[in-house]
Structure 1
Amino acid sequence: MTDADDNASEPRRPAADPAGEQPLLGRTIAVTAARRSSEQRTLLERRGASVLHAPAMRMIPIAEDELVREATGRTLAAPADIMVLTTAAGVRWWLQVCEEWGLADDLLELMGRIPLYSRGPKTTGAIRAAGLREHASAASEASPELLEMLLERGVSGLTVCVQVQGAGSGWNPMSVLLDGLRAAGAEVIEVPVYRWELPEDLDALDDLVRTIARAGVDGVTFTAAPAVIAVLERAGAMGIHDDLLDALNGPVAALCVGPVTAAPLIERGVAFTAPDRMRLGSLMRHTTEVVAERTAPIIVAGHELSVCAAAVLVDGLPVEVSPAQLALMRALSRRPGACVSRADLLAALPGDGADPHAVETSMGRLRRALGAPDMVSTVVKRGYRLNI
């Protein structure tokens, strides 16, 4: 479910923090989630971040999905000998839509007499809320452990119903489990309790992808593998796939809720980080810690200086800088204390200007904006450096 009030065209500015603690002040975070995006925005903004959001995927309503109804019919008709349930929301939605279809009693009766394997605590909670009991639960909340348990039980010749996450997106995080069951001789019925497609507003997503690819954000959060795939595919369609990978392997932190979500990045050799627990709250705390650490201030001429993707902070406070001045600061901060040539600084300026005086003009304005001119030193006939 997407949030109707989300607008990706402009970053939302941080809300006031009564505690005065805003570790993400001046930082910009991209959010790609379709579900619970408003919750992410609120938590990040409370920490001082500016948030850019565009849903990378949209979810097909389960009641309108003929694939779900057909798979449910097969599960009841076979009937399934074992059922693997992987998401709490999926359990609830499946039972709800079966109620609308007049199949809920039949499904609950089947679930009450066959072994139910749960992917983790949240799924187990949904199973018990439905008046059922799980046969076993994966402590790791991961497919390989579920597969190991099922193979140990033995599945040859049995029909196994598997609740599939995000089917139809071009990325199936359950492939290891599904392939392993089939290789062991099981007949597998996939029930895509929700299905993903690209969002209707591709322009908003494309704008967000461009911003990430040019390192216009300090971090990007992913809560589903299909969203990662969508961002990568849109970058490819726009001809900026390599730029996107360079950004994610460089100044932009790729922040994933867990390793399943990160799998498409792992396949492409992209660096990512994830919290210890696959929960949204844990991801938000992890995002705060990682981004704050990556943009930690350095001491320049006795002042604390933080250079972020879209802002500069001096002694913890944002200073107003133009895109050109920000570009100069980003170039200087990549090599603190080292001389950066005028040619390199000119190349860093927005546009295709060739006038070397543009660097001097922008540098003079930057020094005034910083309020501490001695933070940037001139290296005669060579360039400029941060005075650390």
Structure 2
Amino acid sequence: MTSPAPARPALSAALGACTIVIAVDRRSTELATALERHGATVRHAPALSIMPHIDDEALISATRQLIDAPPDVVVVTTGVGFRGWMEAADEAGLADDLQRALTGAQIVARGPKARGAIQQAGLTADWVAESETSSELGEFLLAEGVGGRRVAVQHHGSGADGLDALFARAGAEVVSLTVYRWGPPPDPAAVSRSVLATAQGDVDAVLFTSAPGAAEWLATARRESALEAIAARADAGRLLVAAVGPVTAGPLRDAGIPPLVAERGRLGSLVRAVVTHFGGGHAPGVATAAGRLELRSGGAVLDGRVIALSRTSLLLLGVLSDAAGGVVSRHDLQAALPRSGDSAHAVDVAIGRTREALGVPTLIRTVVKRGYRLDVADDIADHTAAGDAANRPREDAS
């Protein structure tokens, strides 16, 4: 019996207590593994699936046309699509012939992922659209002139993007290649659960690697009446929404959600951006007497230490953190707790359990006859105490 492969060692705890939704189909396992090695809990919720056309007769027929009459220009819009085309040619026994047909062509790419696939196939990209948009790619080729030239266009999963018609109007002979299409999500219920959990605060980050996938996830959020809450959490900095590149970020910006955009348009760059955000002090937090405190969906990070906490403790700490050292009454804390009823004693019990879990009892101070406050650092307390300092009742030592 074959032993299971040993787990890869953790790289850091930067994403400890973070729950991250990846709305990705292709290479989702690779992305999840990279995030988990930094301590994240990953939820898979691909909003679309990729439906390959490896056996598509139209694709093979177009490939044969290009072998018989090689193109002058090859337009590569996606890395996954170009790799799929090469795989389809290989399955049909046409790989070597296609390689020779493309060797003399000018090859242009819509972004770094497309360029990487071209290089992987043993070819060279002559030009790469920095904005990763089809419009920039089209403008470049029109400026160079495509009249009378044979142009092969590999399309992305959304189908035609206007390039065929654009080049044809300019006098080009266009050969269109659709290698894959976007299909329905593998598990629609998982997508719905992910948007509801995100709106409720049970998710720290959502990651996207394609514009159609981002658009469909947002459409699900609208159908579930969750988009407004998601946008509000993102705008407040309590939710990180990250995109692999500027094109993927487009639907997010259109929905009023400010995205973090990876610098290099690669999965590795996306992971680094997320790790840097949470591990580099960019996530919301408050400086306390016990160190910086950040709250995440699965717990807290206190002075770099990841602490698992119950939802009740997280709700309490959230209210106290928002007060930034100000006193919060038992009544207000009680209102934030589920199932506390009319019992103020439930607040005291929850505070005790939270102190015990944190391991720093003095982090939450009792203000006699008034409530509780977070023991923030002196420089913050100086700015927040003005309203309380005049006749503040005494505090106990806990």
TM-score by length of 1: 0.79
Deviation at 1:271, TM superposition (A): 0.4
Written as runs of structure 1 = structure 2, the 5 A alignment for 1:1-388 is 17=10, 21-64=12-55, 68=59, 82-101=73-92, 111-112=102-103, 114-120=105-111, 123-124=114-115, 126-127=117-118, 130=121, 134=125, 136-138=126-128, 140=130, 142-143=132-133, 144-155=135-146, 160-167=151-158, 174=161, 181=167, 190-250=176-236, 251-292=238-279, 293-295=281-283, 298-350=286-338, 353=341, 355-379=343-367, 382-388=370-376
CA distance in 2, matches of 1:159, 1:355: 77
Deviation at 1:263, TM superposition (A): 0.9
Contact conserved, 1:167 with 1:192, CA < 8 A, in 2?
no
Deviation at 1:116, TM superposition (A): 2.8
Amino acid in the other structure paired with 1:199: P
Contact conserved, 1:86 with 1:163, CA < 8 A, in 2?
yes
Going from structure 1 to structure 2, the CA distance change for 1:183 and 1:367 (only over 3 Å counts) comes to farther
Going from structure 1 to structure 2, the CA distance change for 1:271 and 1:122 (only over 3 Å counts) comes to closer
CA distance in 2, matches of 1:355, 1:257: 48
Going from structure 1 to structure 2, the CA distance change for 1:68 and 1:343 (only over 3 Å counts) comes to farther
Write the deviation string for residues 276-320 of structure 1: whole angstroms up to 9, x where unpaired: 211111111111011232347644233443321221233433434
CA distance in 1, matches of 2:95, 2:68: 14
Question: What SS does structure 1 have at the residue aligned with 2:323?
Answer: coil
Question: What SS does structure 2 have at the residue aligned with 1:262?
Answer: helix
Going from structure 1 to structure 2, the CA distance change for 1:127 and 1:287 (only over 3 Å counts) comes to closer
CA distance in 2, matches of 1:329, 1:188: 61
Amino acid in the other structure paired with 2:109: S
Unaligned runs of 5+ in 1: 1-13
CA distance in 2, matches of 1:344, 1:276: 43
CA distance in 2, matches of 1:299, 1:54: 34
Going from structure 1 to structure 2, the CA distance change for 1:213 and 1:188 (only over 3 Å counts) comes to farther
CA distance in 2, matches of 1:107, 1:323: 58
Amino acid in the other structure paired with 2:315: A
Going from structure 1 to structure 2, the CA distance change for 1:82 and 1:346 (only over 3 Å counts) comes to same
Contact conserved, 2:60 with 2:88, CA < 8 A, in 1?
no
Contact conserved, 1:58 with 1:198, CA < 8 A, in 2?
yes
The range that moved more, 289-298 or 248-257, is 289-298
Runs of 4+ in structure 1 off by over 6 angstroms are 73-80
Deviation at 1:94, TM superposition (A): 1.0
CA distance in 2, matches of 1:185, 1:32: 40
Deviation at 1:62, TM superposition (A): 1.8
Going from structure 1 to structure 2, the CA distance change for 1:15 and 1:50 (only over 3 Å counts) comes to farther
Aligned counterpart, 2:388: none
CA distance in 1, matches of 2:148, 2:316: 66
CA distance in 2, matches of 1:351, 1:69: 62
Deviation at 1:252, TM superposition (A): 0.7
Going from structure 1 to structure 2, the CA distance change for 1:294 and 1:127 (only over 3 Å counts) comes to closer
Question: What SS does structure 1 have at the residue aligned with 2:74?
Answer: strand
Aligned identity (percent) is: 39
Q: Indicate the RMSD between aligned Cα atoms, in angstroms.
A: 3.5
The range that moved more, 294-303 or 270-279, is 294-303
Contact conserved, 1:332 with 1:385, CA < 8 A, in 2?
yes
